[in-house]
Amino acid sequence: MRSLWRFDSPRHRSQKTGYWFILPYAVFFGAFVAYPLVFSFILLFHRWNVVTPMEWIGLKNFERLLSDPLFFKAIMNTLKFLLIHIPLQMVVALGIAVLLNSRLKFRGFFRAVFFLPVVVSGVVVTILWQQLYAFDSGLLNRMLSAVGIGKIPWLIDPDMAMLSIALMATWKNVGIYIILFLVGLQDVPRELYDSASIDGATRARQFFRITLPMLRPTFVVVVVLSTIGGFSLFVEPYVLTGGGPMESTLSAVLYIYNQAFYFNHMGYAATLGFVFALIILGVVLLQRKVIETEPMT
């Protein structure tokens, strides 16, 4: 890489221009990244409702967090979401990607349709699914009743609600992962399949022995992006359930939002944000490590 800019000249001009070019970003970084980071750290040790002066409370925010059932509830809800969301998304996305990767007419059309929910606002998708999930008048339940399965309490049953949100989120996001798997599939060298065929390996065996292992980098991306997505859930529970029933769909970000803007607990909300961020980083690092080292198949 270095040789690319070896001929830059005159050097001092480049030096000065460089600083001019990054100046706007330096200002932006100072105001919207560095300052908030420092301030977030200060908030961790204070109680504050924005109006009255800040009050130093030491580690009370952390003590409170460790004995806050809703904090743990939000984590469990997110894990429940991810437990459904990640495997479902992988199977559906990979399945569709394999189909799209074969010889096919209208490939562009199919790809475009599967990707449509990705570009549309989460608010639209949520309003739409609210109609699909409605208990009595919802399209899904009326369809299920018609075929004799009966109604499902999608959003009413606390055990069910988060799963319903995971299903909806999969519908919305799977298009991204179809595209990522398609790119991954196209990167698998053809010769691998050719030589495997000569050796008499069946299509299924080729899929498990060649395709899946070669897609490992894609799996990492899918798992990491889904996890970040799970911890960032907001609009879906905010509009669909308000976090209920019985806090069963309270997400991490919704809980931060409620603490900050419903109860005006800025210090505690910042502590929640800080701890959730650490959890996200920890989980993502762990996932990377596991998927990158775990033998596949």
Partner 1 sequence: MKAIIKYVSLGLGAVIFAYPFLWMIASSLKPEAEIGGFGLWSPHFTFSNYAQVTERIPLGRAFLNSIIVSLSSTVSVVVFGSMVGYALARLQFIGRGTLYAIVVFTMTLPFQITLIPQYILMVKLGITDTYLALVAPTLMTAFSIILFRQFFLYVPQALIDAARIDGCSELRILFRVIWPLSRPVVITVSLLTFMSSWNEVLWPLIVVRNRSLMTMPQLVTIFTIGGEAESLLGLQLAAATLLALPIIITYSFFQRYFIESMASAGIKG
- Asked if 166 interacts with partner 1 (CB under 8 A), we say no
Q: How far apart are CA 28 and CA 191, in angstroms?
A: 49
Contact between 263 and partner 1 by CB under 8 A: the answer reads no
Buried b (16+ CB within 10 A) or exposed e, 59-91: ebbeebbeebebbebbbebbebbbebbbebbbe
Residue span binding partner 1 (CB under 8 A) among the ranges 60-68, 80-88, 114-122, 151-159 = 114-122
What are the residues whose beta carbons fall under 8 Å from the beta carbon of 150, sequence distance 6 or more? 144
Site for partner 1 in 28-47 (CB under 8 A): 28-29, 31-33, 35-37, 39-40, 43
- Residues 51, 52, 53, 54, CA torsion sign: negative
Q: How far is CA 61 from CA 70, 90, 260, in A?
A: 14, 38, 13
Q: Does 286 bind partner 1 (CB under 8 A)?
A: no
Does position 223 interact with partner 1 (CB under 8 A)? The reply is no
Does position 122 interact with partner 1 (CB under 8 A)? The reply is yes
Looking at the Cβ atoms of 193 and 257, the one nearer to partner 1 is 257
- Residue 282 engages partner 1 in binding (rule: CB under 8 A): no
What's CA 202's distance to the chain center, in Å?
35
Q: Does 128 bind partner 1 (CB under 8 A)?
A: yes
Q: How far is the CB of 147 from partner 1 (least distance, A)?
A: 13
Q: Which stretch binds partner 1 (CB under 8 A): 107-115, 154-162, 191-199, 206-214?
A: 107-115
DSSP 33-95: IIHHHHHHHHHTTEE--SSSPPEE-TTHHHHHHHT-HHHHHHHHHHHHHHHHHHHHHHHHHHH
Q: Please give the Cα distance from 67 to 165 (Å, whole number).
A: 27
**Contact between 180 and partner 1 per CB under 8 A:** yes
Choosing from 104, 286, 290, 296, the residue that interacts with partner 1 (CB under 8 A) is: 104
Contact (Cβ atoms closer than 8 angstroms) between residue 227 and residue 280: yes
242 is a site residue for partner 1 (CB under 8 A): yes
Does 5 bind partner 1 (CB under 8 A)? Our answer is yes
Nearer to partner 1, 5 or 295 (CB): 5
Comparing CB distances to partner 1, the nearer of 76 and 235 is 235
72 binds partner 1 (CB under 8 A): no
Q: Which of 229, 230, 243, 273 binds partner 1 (CB under 8 A)?
A: 273
